[in-house]
Amino acid sequence: MPRVTVHRKAHFNAAHRLYRKDWSNEKNFEVFNKCSNEYFHGHNYELIVSLTGEINPDTGYVYDLGHLKQIIKEEVEEPFDHKNLNIEVEEFKNLNPTAENISVVIYDKLRKIIPDTLDMEITLYETPRNFVTYSGN
Ligand code: NI
């Protein structure tokens, strides 16, 4: 059976601040620049979840994208959208909410639900020009 990749795009906007509590404001600014602003700032995050696997001969699907849409809504959009990631989202209380770390958190949440037979990749745009990918390695 051919292996095909299906993709679902989603969106959330959220505020964050990149900093380490154990560093001074000056040191945080040196490393994280404007992203260390103590009053936070926001991004329009664009998320792409990609699943690769064999086409199910019964349905013709790799994975039901309507189902994937619902999972992303429950696991990512509802907990993250219009939130302050540092303050309101448990996973980032002690984890710097960089695009890298956000993509790993999203991957880990979805991996628990998506069947093991499918490979998964997360693509997360923090800005139209800055994005990261993570596929579990
Ligand atoms: Ni930022």
Mean pLDDT of 19-25: 92
Mean pLDDT of all residues belonging to the chain: 96
The predicted-structure confidence for 113-134, as pLDDT tens digits, reads as follows 999 999 999 999 999 999 999 9
Task: Write out the two tokens for 37.
Answer: 């602003």
Single pTM value for the model: 0.95
CA 67 – ligand 1 centroid, Å: 30
82 assigned to active site: yes
7 assigned to active site: no
Is residue 54 within 8 Å of 1, Cβ to Cβ? yes
CA 98 – ligand 1 centroid, Å: 7
The predicted-structure confidence for 39-81, as pLDDT tens digits, reads as follows 999 999 999 999 999 999 999 999 999 999 999 999 999 999 9
Given the residues 7, 11, 67, 82, the one annotated as active site = 82
Given the residues 16, 35, 43, 75, the one annotated as active site = 35
Domains and CATH numbers, the chain: 3-134 (3.30.479.10)
> In the structure, what pLDDT confidence band is assigned to residue 137 with cuts at 50, 70 and 90?
confident
Nearest in space to 18 (alpha carbons), one of 41, 1, 46, 48: 41
**Whole-number Å distance between alpha carbons of 16 and 92:** 10
Strand partners of residue 40:
none
16 assigned to active site: no
